[in-house]
């Protein structure tokens, strides 16, 4: 790329993720929405399966893009084989069923579990509380890992502003379930002394009367019953969350950050890399998706200035000259865009230490089948793995 000003990413150790798909037992794909994270998750799962490893790819993306990428018409919470790919299963998180199973596990008796699951507030919680989806994904990940059916588990995280909610969700959810302040005002019996009890009872009465007029007494009754039913179960939730966190931080796990060359996505990727390093999570590297490829070798010696000067000299010629001039301008535009994108990536990487940077050029508009994923795989996890996958 010397003809267009050198390669701004030359200082970074480029590579691929062949080692990751060959060795990691858990791969977590994270990044901002719209950067091709789901495509990458499917690509990595294909690469692991091509290595003869029994693999499952799990999506917690409600848009169901993973099924489309794998050429499936639908996907459920049960692991299903991907047609035409030996050793690869795919599944989608069913948040409510996973939460129900968690309640069954931690409830001291079946009656308590049924009371929680029939509570209207709980039913709303399982579909709308921020962090619940990510917490349940971690629970499902742990369940799959403990079951021992797979050599490699690939997780496609949801397209939220901060995909690292995957790490923060357990603490947020368990803090909410403890709900000390809210349960205090709901009058759940948390009274440290007789005097405090009178104050709390008075406060609860005012709060309950005012809130009932706004939300209805039934809603608050459900809320109070919900927190009462969860009494004594918080430690079990916290312990499980800690176990999952340790699993994600273990050497067998690998976080792959995905970005595109656009500044917003690169800013998110930079934050993800810093946060993963801060939390001590094993980061496999950064994948920059949809980079504009450099000009072909036959044009590599032609600088953008030379291309534009030649185009200008041909602009007033005949039809053939004008056609050549247009192609020269396209070449110059593409070369300049290539440099701008790579400079943006290099700037975003300043101060970070990604283990590797993997570049994926812009290929086709939509990746929607296994063959297209294999094409992406030649850039992500190496030609050898892609060739093996093609033989499956």
Per-residue pLDDT, 46: 94
What is the Cα–Cα distance from 135 to 257, expressed in whole angstroms? 19
Q: Are residues 269 and 311 in the same domain?
A: no
Domain that holds residue 240: 2-297+338-390
Per-residue pLDDT, 204: 46
What is the Cα–Cα distance from 61 to 31, expressed in whole angstroms? 12
Q: Give me the CATH number covering residue 64.
A: 3.40.50.300
Global pTM value = 0.77
Per-residue pLDDT, 206: 45
What is the Cα–Cα distance from 223 to 220, expressed in whole angstroms? 5
Q: Are residues 127 and 237 in the same domain?
A: yes
Q: Are residues 15 and 151 in the same domain?
A: yes
What is the Cα–Cα distance from 166 to 169, expressed in whole angstroms? 6
Q: Which tokens hold the place of 12?
A: 């970074």
Q: Is the pLDDT of residue 88 over 70?
A: yes
Tell me the CB-side half-sphere exposure of residue 178, using CA atoms within 13 A. Answer: 12
Q: Are residues 353 and 217 in the same domain?
A: yes
Higher pLDDT residue, 124 or 80? 80
pLDDT in tens, 334-387: 888 888 888 888 888 888 878 888 888 887 666 777 888 888 888 888 754 444
| C-alpha to C-alpha distances, 228 to 119, 220, 253, nearest whole angstrom | 11, 12, 37
Q: Are residues 232 and 172 in the same domain?
A: yes
Q: How big is the CA angle at 20 (ends 258 and 42), to the nearest 5 degrees?
A: 55
pLDDT in tens, 282-291: 999 899 998 8
């Amino acid at each position: 790329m010397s003809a267009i000003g050198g390669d701004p990413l030359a200082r970074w150790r480029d590579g691929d993720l062949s080692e990751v798909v060959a060795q990691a037992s858990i791969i977590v794909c994270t990044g901002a929405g719209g950067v091709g994270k789901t495509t990458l998750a499917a690509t990595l799962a294909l690469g692991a399966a091509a290595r003869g490893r029994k693999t499952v790819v799990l999506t917690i993306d409600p848009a169901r893009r993973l099924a489309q990428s794998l050429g499936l018409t639908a996907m459920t919470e049960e692991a299903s084989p991907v047609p035409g790919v030996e050793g690869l299963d795919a599944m989608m998180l069913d948040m409510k069923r996973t939460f129900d199973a968690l309640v069954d596990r931690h409830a001291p008796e079946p009656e308590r579990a049924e009371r929680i699951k029939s509570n209207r507030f709980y039913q709303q919680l399982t579909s709308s509380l921020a962090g619940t989806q990510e917490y349940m994904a971690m629970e499902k990940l742990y369940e799959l890992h403990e079951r021992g059916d797979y050599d490699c588990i690939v997780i496609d995280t949801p397209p939220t502003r901060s995909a690292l909610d995957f790490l923060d969700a357990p603490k947020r959810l368990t803090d909410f379930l403890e709900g000390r302040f809210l349960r205090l005002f709901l009058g759940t019996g948390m009274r440290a002394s007789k005097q405090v009890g009178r104050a709390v009872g008075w406060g609860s009465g005012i709060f309950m009367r005012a809130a009932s007029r706004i939300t209805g007494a039934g809603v608050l009754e459900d809320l109070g019953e919900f927190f009462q039913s969860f009494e004594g179960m918080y430690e079990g939730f916290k312990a499980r969350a800690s176990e999952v966190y340790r699993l994600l931080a273990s050497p067998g796990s690998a976080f792959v950050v995905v970005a595109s060359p656009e500044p917003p996505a690169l800013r998110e990727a930079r934050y993800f890399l810093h946060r993963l390093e801060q939390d001590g999570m094993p980061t496999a590297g950064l994948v920059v998706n949809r980079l504009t490829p450099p000009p072909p070798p036959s044009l590599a010696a032609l600088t953008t200035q030379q291309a534009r000067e030649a185009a200008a000299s041909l602009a007033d010629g005949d039809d053939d000259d004008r056609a050549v001039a247009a192609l020269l301008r396209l070449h110059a535009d593409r070369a300049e865009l290539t440099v701008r994108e790579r400079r943006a990536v290099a700037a975003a990487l300043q101060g970070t230490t990604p283990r590797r940077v993997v570049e994926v050029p812009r290929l086709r508009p939509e990746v929607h089948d296994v063959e297209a994923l294999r094409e992406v795989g030649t850039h992500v996890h190496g030609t050898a793995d892609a060739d093996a996958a093609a033989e499956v």
